[in-house]
Every structure is written in C-alpha cells, then in structure tokens.
Amino acid sequence: MKIYLKKFVSGQVTLIFTLAWFALSPQAGAVCQEGCLTNQNTVLGDDALLNNTGEANTATGFQALFNNTTGAFNTANGWHALYSNTDGFNNTAMGLNALLSNTTGNDNTATGNSALLFNTNGIWNTATGSSALSDNTTGSENTANGIAALGFNTTGSFNTATGGFALGSNTTGTQNTATGDSALGRNNGNSNTATGANALLGNGAGFNNTATGVDALRSSTTGNYCTATGQGSLYSNTTGVNNTAHGQNALRKNTTGAFNIALGDNAGFSLTTGSNNIDIGNKGVAAESKTIRIGKVGTQTNTFIAGISGVTVAGGVGVIIDTNGHLGTVVSSERFKDSIQPMDKASEAILSLRPVTFRYKPELDPEGVPQFGLVAEEVKKVDPDLVARDERGKPYTVRYDAVNAMLLNEFLKEHREVGEQGDQMTDLKAIVAEQQKEIQALTASLKAQAAQIQKVSDQLELSRPAPRTVVDNH
C-alpha cells in the first residue's frame, strides 16, 4: 500500500489520502514463521524473513523483511516492514509499511505507518511518525519526527524535521532544519532553519534563511539570507533578501524589500518594499528606503548615547532635529535652494529682540547652570519665522542658526556703512590737506607781500629829506 499525503495551507488544512495496493507475488499459502532461526535471526509472522540468508535480523509481522537475503542486523516490526530489503543492514522499521521499499540502504530507522516507505538505498535516515520521510529514495542522513515530516523528500540529505508536515514537501533540499507543525512545509531550498509552526512554510528555493517563531518568514518563497525571530516576523516576505527581524511581527508586511533590520515588537511593521532601512522600536513607513528610525515619538522622551560628548570631529557640521525627531544637517549649496534673494532689511527684525539670561527649570536642569539666549514667545512676536514649534504648534525653541545669519547681514550692512564713512573721511582728509596746502601757499604769499611792503616802507623812510633846523635870531 502506498500512501500520499499532501498538506495545503490556505486557511484550512486538507489531507488527501490516495491508496494503491501493491501487487504482491502470489503465494500458494502463507508460511507462518515463528521462533529463532539460524544465524541469530528471530521471526514472528506469516512469510516474515521468508527468503532470508542474512544474520542477526528480527522480523515481526506479516511479510516483514520478506525479500531479505543477505541483509543483516535489521529489525522489522509491522506489516510489510522492510518488505523489499535485500542487502541493507542495521535498519530498524516499526510500523505498517515502514521502510517497505528499502533494498540496500543501511542504518535507517523508521517508526510509524509508511515511515521511509520508498527509501531504497538512502542511509543514516531516521523517521518517526506516520509517513515521515515516506517518499525518500536515496536521500541520506535525514531526521524526520512527526506525521508526514519530510514526507515528499526524495534525494535531499542532511535535513532535520520535527513536527507534523515539517519539511513535508521538500524533495531535493539539503541541510535544512525544521521544528514545528508545517515548518518549511513547501521547502526545496538549502541550509534553512525554521523553528515554530508554519515558520518558513512557503519557502521554495530560498536558502540560508533562519526563522524562529510561529509564522516567522511564512510567505517567503525565494528570499535568501533572511533571519526572523518572533511570532509573525517577516511574515509576508516573499523574495526579499538579507533582512533581519527580531521581535513579534517585526517586518511583518515586508514583501520584496531587502537589507532591512528591525528590532523590537512590531518594529518595521509597516515596511513593504523599501530597502536598507533600520527600524528599532519603530514601525517604519511603507516604501521608504535608506532610513534609520529609533523609538516612537511620544513614547521615548529622553535619549542617552555614549561616545559622543567630548569627541571632536574635525570638519564636521552641526546636527539639528525637528519636532518629529528627524535628525539632519543644514545644507547650504545652491543646488538645494530656490528663490535666492538678498536679505536686505529683513534682518532688521533682530534689532527688536531682547537677549536675556536665565536658568532652566529644575526638572530640566537640577544644577541651574546660567544660560544666555532668547525667549521663543518674544521672538515669535517679532518674527514668527524665527521660532520652531512643537507637535501642538506652540513655540518650542528659537532658530538660532537663522538669527546668526540675520546678525551677519546686519553686521555686513554696518560694515559697509562704516566703510563708506571711512571713504568719506578719506575724501575729507584729502580736501583738508589740499586746503591746508592752499592756506600754506596763501600764508607764504602774504608773508612775501608783507616783506615786500616792509621793504618798500623802509626805502620810503630812507628817501625822506633830512629835517631842517631854523635858528631864530631874534
């Protein structure tokens, strides 16, 4: 009798059994075998060990080890157990049709109805459970524990399946480990590890995946190098590669996104096709890529990161943050700017600002360190564009970077005015110098004229007739 089992998982579980009777060689009459035979063989059952020439075999059940000739050290317990075995040795079969087709395979252990049913020359296999490794023919070193575990495996080797239908459809995949009902149920890939019911259920040719948790990586088909830990983690992943998800439902909706990392309950839950994201304690955004999200706005209210304070980064730029927790830097290249205009009088608003000294409230700064700055509410009244607002739209802080730019503009305006005044002073000095020269020339001319006048005056004085003395003879 051959038993086919197939499990389809699409909401409900359906088992389909097809029975086909083997056409056994007609027997004139069953030969009841019972007792201890030669060469340390033990037999109990009709036609059990009927053709045996081997040694140290034990057969219990109808036609158990029926065709065994030189095979040795085999144990068959059940109807048609090890029925076809001829030269195989060190096999153990317990259950209806267990290791029925085995001919030369050795060191196999089958426990359960139709376990290792079609194994012919595969070796070192262990099957426990109804139809476990039932279709295995030449695959070796497989371990199946559970109903239909590795049921359709044919040539795949080095697989371990524990749980009903675990690795149930695997045929040629190797080096897989599945623990849990239907774990790696449709697998044909290699080097996958699934722990938990339906973990990596849909995996086809994907390889080097690790899934731990119920429904972890359930829908993956050809995705590779993915790691999912937690119930439902990477549940919808189909072809995405190199994804890592740790936590319940982490990266649950991801389908084709690759190189994503999610850590925490529902971390990266909303990601679908985006790649190269890191989500820690954050659900992420559907199709975004190359984004890091840490924590949830409104949940985490303080952040401490070691290794930053006191560390100098030469050539670095300041980091800013918005009310959504978005980190970044201010870019200044014209490549990112539109409508560039001179600031002109717009900066004059800062002349109305009131710089203050203050201390933060004790809950913010228990040490009360003196601070210097502005009051956001006051700044808003002067220029609303100079304040940043919180999630409720209230003034939160001052855009000091913008204030600095406006200060620079006012300084440059003042500098230009001073420069212009300096130029005027230079011109005035030149005029004064010229006037001084003219005054000096005029003074020299006046002095020369005075000297000439004096000379003429002296000459006139000399040319006067001498005064005469009149003698009065009277």
The lowest-confidence range among 4-18, 37-51, 316-330, 341-355 is 4-18
* Nearest to 100, CA basis, from 113, 81, 115: 81
CA atoms within 13 A on the CB side of 410: 13
Identity (one letter) of the amino acid at 60? T
Residues with Cβ < 8 Å from 278, sequence gap 6 or more? 260, 261, 262, 291, 292, 293, 294
296 in Cβ contact with 282 (< 8 Å): yes
Q: How far apart are CA 201 and CA 217, in angstroms?
A: 7
Q: Does domain 1-23+31-190 match CATH 3.40.50?
A: no
Dihedral class, residue 310 (left if φ above 0, else alpha if ψ from -120 to 50, else beta): left
Q: Region 457-474: what's the mean pLDDT? A: 69
Give 325 or 247, the one with higher predicted confidence. Answer: 247
Q: How far apart are CA 347 and CA 333, in angstroms?
A: 21
Whether pLDDT at 322 is above 90: no
Whether pLDDT at 52 is above 90: no
Whether pLDDT at 380 is above 50: yes
Read off the pLDDT band of 473 (50, 70, 90).
Answer: low
Whether pLDDT at 32 is above 80: no
| DSSP-assigned letter for residue 300 | B
Residue 425 has a pLDDT of 87
Read off the pLDDT band of 53 (50, 70, 90).
Answer: confident
Read off the pLDDT band of 471 (50, 70, 90).
Answer: low
Read off the pLDDT band of 10 (50, 70, 90).
Answer: very low
pTM of the model: 0.77
Q: How far apart are CA 353 and CA 356, in angstroms?
A: 10
The lowest-confidence range among 101-105, 153-157, 276-280, 441-445 is 441-445
Residue 9 has a pLDDT of 37
Q: Which residue has the tokens 């001498």?
A: 466
Q: Region 339-349: what's the mean pLDDT? A: 94
Domain ranges of the chain: 1-23+31-190, 208-296, 349-398, 408-457
Residue 325 has a pLDDT of 86
The lowest-confidence range among 48-57, 198-207, 241-250 is 48-57
Q: How far apart are CA 211 and CA 234, in angstroms?
A: 9
Whether pLDDT at 11 is above 50: no
Whether pLDDT at 16 is above 60: no
Read off the pLDDT band of 28 (50, 70, 90).
Answer: very low
Whether pLDDT at 378 is above 60: yes
Whether pLDDT at 445 is above 50: yes
What are 290-312's pLDDT values in tens digits? 999 999 988 998 899 999 888 98
Whether pLDDT at 30 is above 80: no
Would you list the DSSP string of 154-184? SS--S-EEESTTTTTT-SS--S-EEESTTTT
Q: Region 163-169: what's the mean pLDDT? A: 96
Q: How far apart are CA 224 and CA 238, in angstroms?
A: 10
Whether pLDDT at 253 is above 90: yes
202 in Cβ contact with 220 (< 8 Å): yes
Residue 356 has a pLDDT of 98
Whether pLDDT at 37 is above 50: yes
Question: What HEC string does the chain produce?
Answer: CEEECCEEECCCEEECCEEECCCCCCCCCCCEEEEECCCCCEEEEECCCCCCCCCCCEEECCCCCCCCCCCCCCEEECCCCCCCCCCCCCCEEECCCCCCCCCCCCCCEEECCCCCCCCCCCCCCEEECCCCCCCCCCCCCCEEECCCCCCCCCCCCCCEEECCCCCCCCCCCCCCEEECCCCCCCCCCCCCEEECCCCCCCCCCCCCCEEECCCCCCCCCCCCCCEEECCCCCCCCCCCCCCEEECCCCCCCCCCCCCCEEECCCCCCCCCCCCCCEEECCCCCCCCCCCEEECCECCECCCCCCCCCCCCCCCCCCCEECCCCCEECCCCCHHHCCCCCCCHHHHHHHHHCCCEEECCCCCCCCCCCCEEECCHHHHHHHCHHHEEECCCCCEEEECHHHHHHHHHHHHHHHHHHHHHHHHHHHHHHHHHHHHHHHHHHHHHHHHHHHHHHHHHHHHHHHHCCCCCCCCCCC
Q: Region 169-174: what's the mean pLDDT? A: 95
The lowest-confidence range among 16-20, 230-234, 414-418 is 16-20
Read off the pLDDT band of 33 (50, 70, 90).
Answer: low
